Every structure is written in structure tokens, then in C-alpha cells.
Amino acid sequence: MHFTFASLRKISLSLIVAGAALAVIAPRVALAEALLVVEADTGKVLQAENATYPWYPASVTKMMTAYVVLKAVKEGRLTLEGTLTVSPVAASQSPSKMGFKPGTLVTVENALHMMMVKSANDMAVVLAEGVAGSVDGFSAQMNQTALRLGMTQTTYVNPNGLPADGQVTSARDLVILARAIIRDLPEFEYFMHTPSIRYGRRVTQNFNKLIGRYPGADGFKTGFICASGYNLVASATRNGRRLIAVVLGSSSGQARAVKAAQLLDRGFADNTLSWLRPSLGTVDNLAPIDASPPNLRDEICNGKRKRPATDEDADTVASNGASSGESPAVTFFTAGLQAPMAKPSELMAAAPAASQPVVVYTGPKKTGAALIAAVAVDEQKQTTKRRGKKSRVAASKPDAAEAKQAGKETKSEAKSEAKSDGKPAAKPKAVRQAHARPDTAPKAAEKPVTAAAKPKAAEKPAEKPAAKPAAKPAPKSSDARPAETKPAGAKPSAAKPAAAAPRG
């Protein structure tokens, strides 16, 4: 094929334009996630990708809420046993939440467990109002604390992380906050890694899938809104060495957990390979990027997610090795240096280790018999609420009672049809098609028909006694028990339909 200079020039220009287009697209792809792994004690950065890019925090905001509340407890301005009241503002928050009515009392300790394990947005507001009197007042305290800690890229607008203009953070700032919790509140760290809670009869596992699955996992918090994607601040300790990993903007709750586990694995293996990598300095020295946070709504939600923003995640698809982001060179070097261990994707897909849920409840602090009684009351509330839902569902289906009555009519029709000619008539089928809820009616009708059909096979001896005319007046009374006390010759065929009738 012959190319002229002009045609070659055109091809070159086309390639340059295509390259420029890819260069514009590339940063967008690169910002799909922000990742950071740091040593908790020293602040040494082991891996960083988009670590100082602004990001929507979602419910990892609750780490700062817990920090401010627990500092108030440590300083004596609040007690864990003290009770707080659920306000109308708190009760109106979007899920995930406990759903308590305004006026409900809850202790600071129980509210913290509910907020950190279930990511309850209403409890975050209850705690905020308990400390500062209002959401705005508490947000101001959160921002003052962030500045004091050196979180220069973070601004808070509310205590729970629900979507709000101006509420931003970065992976760098979240590591700074996690290190502050470890350093300043060691006596309260159990709030950061409680495996599960039990409220009434309902047990809720921690949304942080590393807890109870990843060896040594001991913190911190998950977060999700459509704009942020799935976020996670995690930590784990091995052989006295603690690492903190941050994943922002992942595609699912499962994927963020797998990615965090991969980052931690790599960090723990990094001791022997640190001489191969350039030093990244400490987390405080990472240079902030001045930009707007990426909005991942189209990629993450794209019309599929109809429910309000919540950490609850039904996605169980784990990332495979191809999407792990681990280079072949690192895999080659670390493969022979790590002890054999289950893959992160396998760990995150497994059930969490068995643990005793922390019992949470409404009302003042209780122990012993009083605690057992409080749990029983909460269980009763849940049962009543469930029954109320069922009755409302039944009331919304006006044909439910009609279908039940149809079941009774179908049985009586089947009995009379079977007695007249010994064949199941087509009427039950007609009733089956005529009603919206057929399942109970036909099944209840089938038993009397088959029971009545059996005597027909041996009908010859049954024709002698003139018992059949006496059977027709039986419907006069509501039950067929008198027929059972009649002669023994009146085989159980008449009794079976009568016994089956109440089931419809």
C-alpha cells in the first residue's frame, strides 16, 4: 500500500488527537478510587493513590462524631451511662437508622454502638444534640477538631455523612483521624471494632466486613452515598504492628472490603521489600490537591439504586485477582515471603467468626434482671410492629377475606359434587381462576375430594344403609361431629372432610 506524505500526516494528526482524548479520559479513570496504607505508630506511608484528592466521606463521618463524643466523655462533660432523647430531627433521618420514635430515651453507650455497628444515622444526630444541643453546633465542634488534628482537607456539615453540600474529606485526613482515635482514646477503641449488636430479637453484623473475617482486624468504619461510592477506613494488627488502610470510591461493600484486605496484606509483607520502593514520607507531609471531589453517582447508582443512602450492602460479588491492582512483580516477590493464607476475596465471602453480640436497648442503663426485662420489652415492640405491618398489608388487599370464604365454599361444593357422582367437578378450578389468592383455597379443597373419592371405590356396602339422605341435613349445624358418633359403619370418609374444613 502506498502512502503519500499528506496521508501520513493525516494519520499522525489522528493519532495525536486520539492520544489527547485518552489523556483527558485517563484522570477520570484514575480517580475511580483513592487508596492509602499507613503505619499507625509512625505515620509512614506504604502506598498512596489519589490519597490527597478531595472525596465525599459518607458515613466514615461517624468516626469524627464518635471522636468528639468520646472526648466529651473522657473530659467529664458526658457519661456513657447518661441518657439522651431522640428528637424529631433525629427521628427524621434517612436509613440506615434504628427508627426510634421521638421521645425515646437511649444511653450514650448504646447510641455509640448503634451508630458504629449499624451506621444508624438517627443515633449520630442524637449524640450530636446531646453534646452540642444542635446539629449545627456539633458540626462546628467537628470542624474545630479537624483543624486541631491537621485535617486540612476536611469540612463537616452534619454528624452522619448523609449528602450535604460542602461535606468533604480525603484519604490522608481519614488516616490522621484514625491515628488520633488510637492515640487519644485507647480505652474506647472497642467501639471501633464491635462485631455485632443485638436489639430485641434482631442481630446486626458490623458493616465493616473485615471485622471477624480478616486476621487482626480492629477498626474502623464504612460509608456509602451514591456520590462517594463505597468507602472504608480499616485497620489490623499483626505481630505488634498496626496498619491503617483507606479505600474510597469502591464499587460495592464487598469490593471495598476485598481491596482493603489486599492493601493490608501488601503492607504487612512490605517490611522485607521496603528497600525496593522509594520512600513516600509520612501521612502528614502528603501534599493536598486543590480540586472538587469526584461525583460517582452515575457510575455507582446509575438508576439501579432506588433506596436512600445507606451502608447496608447486599452485593456479595468479590473482586477477582485481575482487579486487585497488584502488579505481577509485587506478586512474584511477595508470593514466597508470605505465610500461606486464604485470599482476601475468600475471607470476605466467608461468614464472620462467631461472637457474642453486644446487647443494646432503649431507656436508662440496665444490668441483670432489669436488662433481661428491657430486652424482652424491645422484642415485644418488634413483634407488635411486625404484626401491625402484616395487618396493614392484609387490609390493603380487600379480596383476602373473599378468597378465604371462597376456600370454604370450594370445600362444601367439592363434598357435594363427590357425593353425587364420585368425580371431582370443575367448579373448584373455576373458583381458583376467579380469585386473586388461590393457594389456600384449592389445596384445602383437594383433601375432602380425595377423601370422599375413596369410599366410592368401595361404595357397594355403603349403599345398604340409608345414611346418605341423613348426611345432607348435616350442614344445618356448623360441625359434623354428630355424624362421627353414629354407627361404626359410617366410615371415616365423612369425618375427614369435616376435620379438614377449618383449615381453609
Active site residues: 59, 62, 119
The CA-based angle 93-94-99, given to 5 degrees, is: 70
Candidates 113, 112, 105; CA nearest to 84 is 105
- Residue 414 CA to residue 429 CA, distance in Å, equals 11
Residue ranges in 301-367 assigned as alpha helix (H): 328-335, 344-349
Distance CA 371, CA 70 (A): 24
Neighbours of 432 (CB within 10 A): 15
**Phi-psi category of 289—alpha, beta or left, where left has phi over 0 and alpha has psi -120 to 50?**
beta
b/e 137-151 (16+ beta carbons within 10 angstroms → b): ebbebbbebbeebeb
Q: Is 236 in contact with 264 (CB distance < 8 Å)?
A: yes
Longest dimension (CA), the chain: 114
DSSP 8-state class, residue 100: P
Is 123 exposed, middle or buried, given 0-12, 13-18 or 19+ CB atoms closer than 10 A?
Answer: buried
Angstrom distance (rounded) from CA 246 to CA 263:
9
Report the relative pairing of strands 105-107 and 83-85 from DSSP bridges.
antiparallel
Residue 301, all three cell numbers: 447508582
Q: CA–CA separation, 440 vs 447, rounded Å?
A: 12
Query: Exposure pattern of 97-115 as b/e (b: 16+ CB <10 Å)?
Result: bbebeeebebbbbbbbbbb
Output phi, psi for 295, to 5 deg.
Answer: -105, 110
Q: Cell for 404?
A: 378465604
Rounded Cα distance, 453 and 448, in Å: 8
Polymer length of the chain: 504
Residue 111: all three cell numbers together? 447510641
Order of strands, edge to edge, in the sheet holding 241-250? 45-49, 34-39, 241-250, 229-238, 217-225
